[in-house]
Amino acid sequence: MMKNTSKHLTREKLLDQGVVMFTEHGFHGVGLQNILNSVGVPKGSFYNYFTSKEEFCAASIAHYIEPYIILLDGWLKHPGVGALVALEGYFGELTSELKQRNFSGGCLLGNLIGEVGDTSETCRIALGIAVYRYRDKLSEGIERGQREGVFRMDLKAEDMADFLSDAWQGALLRMKIERSTRPLEACCKNILRGYFRV
């Protein structure tokens, strides 16, 4: 039992570090040895967890998106908070976090989609799964907003969630060059309190 727990913790440490390094340096800018050295795992042991760097990256993608889905779900389940305020709170929290990180990194999904989305089938599939899981959680919030009468009903919640997610990715890129939260704040305001409103 202890061995399995230790193995799970080592895998989690590898994934945590993979998320950080892939976000900061991209897929091609990170060597496995860099990750292994930073976590203190011998190269031979790495292959007990992952068969390749691509498989490790795919697992890092799934590991990365999970906390964002949990955070969004928590905002949507917050007692007494409507969907519009919950979505604004969620994106506001992300914006504050990015400001604290001095606008570095952005989104691992967006970074990797641009880098390996069309060159690695393994990563492409993992990215697609993460993007659609995230879209589906956003869609839940938008559907709730439609039921509450604050969001327009002439568009499908799923299509609106796609639009919001895509716009947010673009705003993250603008954030990097402007070194400002302005694109993120404008994105949320113009969509949530503009385009989506009844």
Would you state the pLDDT for residue 3?
53
3 located within any domain: no
76 located within any domain: yes
15 located within any domain: no
Q: State how many domains the chain has.
A: 1
127 located within any domain: yes
How would you write 160-188 as a 3-class SS string? Answer: HHHHHHHHHHHHHHHHHHHCCCHHHHHHH
pTM for the whole thing?
0.92
Are 69 and 134 in contact, with CB atoms under 8 Å apart? yes
Would you state the pLDDT for residue 107?
94
Q: What is the DSSP letter of 192?
A: I
In tens, the pLDDT along 50-73 reads 999 999 999 999 999 999 999 999
Are 69 and 75 in contact, with CB atoms under 8 Å apart? no
18 located within any domain: no
Rounded distance between C-alpha atoms, residue 39 and residue 13, angstroms: 7
The residue segments making up the domain with residue 134 are 52-195
Looking at the predicted structure, is the pLDDT value of residue 31 above 80?
yes
User: What does the mean pLDDT of the chain come to?
Assistant: 94
179 located within any domain: yes
CATH of the domain at 191: 1.10.357.10
- Residue 151's beta-bridge partner residues? 197
Looking at the predicted structure, is the pLDDT value of residue 184 above 70?
yes
Looking at the predicted structure, is the pLDDT value of residue 104 above 90?
no
47 located within any domain: no
Token pair 């906390």 in the structure block, residue: 67
Are 151 and 160 in contact, with CB atoms under 8 Å apart? yes
Are 54 and 10 in contact, with CB atoms under 8 Å apart? no
90 located within any domain: yes
Looking at the predicted structure, is the pLDDT value of residue 80 above 60?
yes
Q: pLDDT band at 1, cuts 50/70/90?
A: very low
Rounded distance between C-alpha atoms, residue 5 and residue 3, angstroms: 5
In tens, the pLDDT along 113-164 reads 999 999 999 999 999 999 999 999 999 999 999 999 999 999 999 999 999 9
Q: What is the DSSP letter of 197?
A: B
DSSP assignment string, 47-92: TTT-SSHHHHHHHHHHHHHHHHHHHHHHHHT-TT--HHHHHHHHHH
Percentage of residues in the chain having pLDDT higher than 70: 98
The residue-averaged pLDDT of 25-34 equals: 93
Would you state the pLDDT for residue 198?
95
